[in-house]
Structure formats: C-alpha cells, structure tokens
C-alpha cells in the first residue's frame, strides 16, 4: 500500500513539475523572420517575461496567415501579429490602425500609450468561443505611405482605374480603395510588395519597414515615388489566451510594451531616413487637407458599418486634436 501511495505521489509531483516547466508558445510574425526588428524586440520581451513568472518559447513566422491559424488552433498560446489582422480578436485595440486616424508619430505615441493604460483593461479583453482573449501589447511598426511606379500618379483622380494591392482580409483597405475609384487587388502581407515590384500593380501602401528588405526600389524604378502622406499607422498586437498565463501577465506585458515605445519610434525614424529623398513626393496643403477629409469620411462610414470601433475613433480624434488643435476636424462633430 505504501509503495502504491509513493508511486502515486511521485506521478502527481512529476505532473506538477512538468506543468510548471511547460513553456507557453508564442507565434511571432515578422516579414524578415528572426532577422526582423519585431522578432528581436519579442526576444527581449521573452527575457522580461521570466520576471513575471512566465517562461515562453518564441516561434518565428514569415507567413502571417499561418501564425494566426496556429494561434486559432491552439498550437500557440499567444500571437504577435499586425493589428489589422488582430482586429478580429479585439475591435477596440484593432481599430488603432484606422485609415487616416494616426497621421503623425506624436499622435501614435499618445494613442498607443492611452490604449495600453490600466484604465482600458476591460476593453482589452474579449470572449471568443468561451475563451478570454486579451491584448498584451501594441508595437509600433510605422506610418504607411502610398508608393506608385509613376510619379505622374500624384493625385487621387489620377489613381482612378488603376490596380492597388490590398490585404485581402482587411475590409477597410478594400472599401477605401474602391471609394477613390482604384481597383483593389486582394493580396497577402507576404506577396503584396512583390506584386508592386513586378509591375502587377502600380500602387501599394507600405511602411518604411518594408522598403529596403523587400527591395521596393525595384518597383519604383526611375519614375516612381512615395507620396509623402501617411494613410495609416501600422502597429502589431500581442494577443493571448488569458487562462494560459498568470493573472498579472497582461498588465506586466502592457507596461513593458509602453516602455519600449520611445525606442520603437526611433527605429521608425531611422528606417524612414533610409528612404532616398528623391522618391518623396510632397503634397500641397490643399491636397493634404482634401485627403484628410476623404479619409475622415471613409473612416466614419467604416465605423457605421461596424468595421471600426466608435470608442477608439473618439480616442484617436482626441489625440489628433490634442497634438494639433488647428486641424479642421477639431471643430466638427462626429468621431
């Protein structure tokens, strides 16, 4: 009897030990895999997580769709993916990348810091299929600009009827491209730049993060340009299953992400400075305001359709008008 008891006790203790030693697996998407800035940042996050009584194993993905699929299927307990794709898990945080919602880095810093603040904890949790999914951080990737293979396409009117590579899963991008009269070409984050570089599409939106690694100069050629007007601010979300992590993990992780923001914005500045000035095409003040109004109208329409979260739209407007009180929209109702 004693032997049976000892054997049972040993099995139980071994079970507890193996559970405590089990690592939570994190799917990390980065276009450049382990060589990318996002993955390197997550390596530092993984080290910090040890101090929160969390031991994680990062799995690098260059295919974002697969990273998301593996998170859905439970292969990973958390995933670091673009906010546009993460919107399906949390519309509040997932709307921070709204078209035209974050036109400057100063506004982006305010918006991300506010969203990750402790006062928004409830908004960062969502019940999906009886599981609680939580946002554990938001990372800055940078403003996305429109790249064209011919600088003669320097107005919205001249882009009408032309093909524009869009992410197939983002209804907001598709709707906005159709709104301006261009033709959306459904793509994935792994091939949308390739379509531009090979001439399949003459227009694409992308952050500076993609410029050198994905050799966008091939698509720009001798006549192309970057229209110096950010159409959206690209970020990434850490989404995780709350029950798989310690109770304080979410707050610890979000606090860590907030502390990384100054360094991330410095990275964005460095990457943007790496794009040759010859490619930049500046808009007139009149055109800039025209595009801001166009994006605002589109954003409000997408919010009415349920694609964007109305609370987040109010947060972003407040951030924009805090940084620039002279902006035309600050005296207007809506958002």
**pLDDT tens digits, 9-18:** 444 433 433 3
CATH 3.40.190 for domain 23-141+234-273: yes
**Greater model confidence, 117 or 189:** 117
With a CB cutoff of 8 Å and minimum separation 6, the contacts of 36 are: 30, 213
Question: What is the tens place of the pLDDT at every residue in 59-103?
Answer: 999 999 999 999 999 999 999 999 999 999 999 999 999 999 999
Task: Report yes or no: 190 and 206 within 8 Å, Cβ to Cβ.
Answer: no
Quote the mean pLDDT of the chain: 92
pLDDT surpasses 90 at 7? no
Topology match between the domains 23-141+234-273 and 144-233+280-331: yes
Amino acid 4: pLDDT:
46
Other C-beta atoms closer than 10 Å to the C-beta of 128 total: 12
Kindly tell me if the per-residue pLDDT of 302 is higher than 90: yes
pLDDT for the residue numbered 283: 93
Instruction: Report which of residues 255 and 15 the model is more confident about.
Output: 255
pLDDT, one tens digit per residue, over 9-51 is 444 433 433 334 478 999 999 999 999 999 999 999 999 999 9
**pLDDT at residue number 334:** 86
In the chain, where are the structural domains located?
Answer: 23-141+234-273, 144-233+280-331
Instruction: Give residue-wise pLDDT tens across range 189-247.
Output: 889 999 999 999 999 999 999 999 999 999 999 999 999 999 999 999 999 999 999 99
Place of tokens 């969203």: 115
| Count of alpha carbons within 13 angstroms of residue 180, beta-carbon side | 25
Q: How many other CB atoms are found less than 10 A from the CB of residue 16? A: 10
* Lowest-confidence region among 2-6, 189-193, 296-300: 2-6
Quote the pLDDT of residue 189: 86
Which one, of 330, 322, 272, lies nearest residue 107 by Cα? Answer: 322
- What is the C-alpha to C-alpha distance for residues 212 and 308, in angstroms, rounded to an integer? 31
Strand partners, 148: 203, 225
Residue whose C-alpha is closest to residue 281's, from 193, 133, 128, 150: 150
Give residue 306's pLDDT band: very low, low, confident or very high (50, 70, 90): very high
Fold observed for domain 144-233+280-331: D-Maltodextrin-Binding Protein; domain 2 (3.40.190)
Least confident of 54-58, 142-146, 153-157: 153-157
Residue 324 pLDDT > 50, yes or no?
yes
């Amino acid at each position: 009897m004693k032997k049976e008891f000892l054997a049972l006790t040993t099995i139980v203790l071994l079970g507890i030990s193996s559970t405590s030693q089990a690592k939570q697996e994190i799917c990390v998407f980065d276009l450049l895999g382990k060589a990318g800035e996002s993955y390197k940042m997550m390596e530092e996050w993984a080290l910090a997580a040890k101090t929160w009584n969390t031991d994680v194993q990062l799995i690098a993905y260059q295919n974002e769709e697969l990273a998301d699929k593996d998170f859905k299927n439970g292969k990973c307990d958390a995933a670091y993916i673009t906010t546009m794709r993460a919107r399906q898990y949390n519309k509040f945080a997932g709307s921070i990348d709204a078209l035209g919602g974050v036109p400057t880095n100063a506004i982006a810093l305010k918006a991300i810091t506010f969203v990750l603040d402790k006062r928004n904890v409830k908004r960062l949790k969502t019940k999906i299929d009886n599981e609680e999914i939580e946002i554990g951080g938001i990372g800055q990737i940078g403003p996305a600009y429109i790249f064209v293979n011919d600088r003669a396409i320097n107005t919205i009117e001249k882009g009408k009827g032309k093909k524009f590579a869009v992410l197939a899963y983002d209804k907001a991008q598709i709707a906005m491209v159709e709104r301006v009269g261009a033709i959306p070409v459904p793509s994935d984050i792994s091939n949308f730049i390739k379509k531009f570089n090979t001439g399949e599409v003459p227009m694409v939106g992308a952050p500076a993060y993609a410029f050198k690694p994905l050799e966008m100069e091939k698509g720009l050629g001798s006549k192309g340009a970057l229209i110096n007007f950010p159409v959206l601010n690209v970020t990434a979300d850490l989404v995780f299953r709350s029950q798989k992590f310690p109770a304080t993990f979410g707050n610890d992780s979000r606090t860590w992400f907030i502390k990384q923001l100054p360094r991330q914005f410095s990275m964005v500045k460095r990457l943007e400075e790496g794009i040759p000035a010859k490619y930049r095409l500046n808009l007139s003040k009149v055109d800039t305001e025209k595009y801001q109004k166009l994006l605002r109208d589109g954003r409000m329409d997408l919010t009415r359709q349920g694609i964007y979260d109305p609370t987040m739209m109010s947060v972003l407007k407040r951030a924009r008008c805090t940084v620039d009180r002279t902006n035309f929209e600050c005296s207007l109702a809506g958002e």
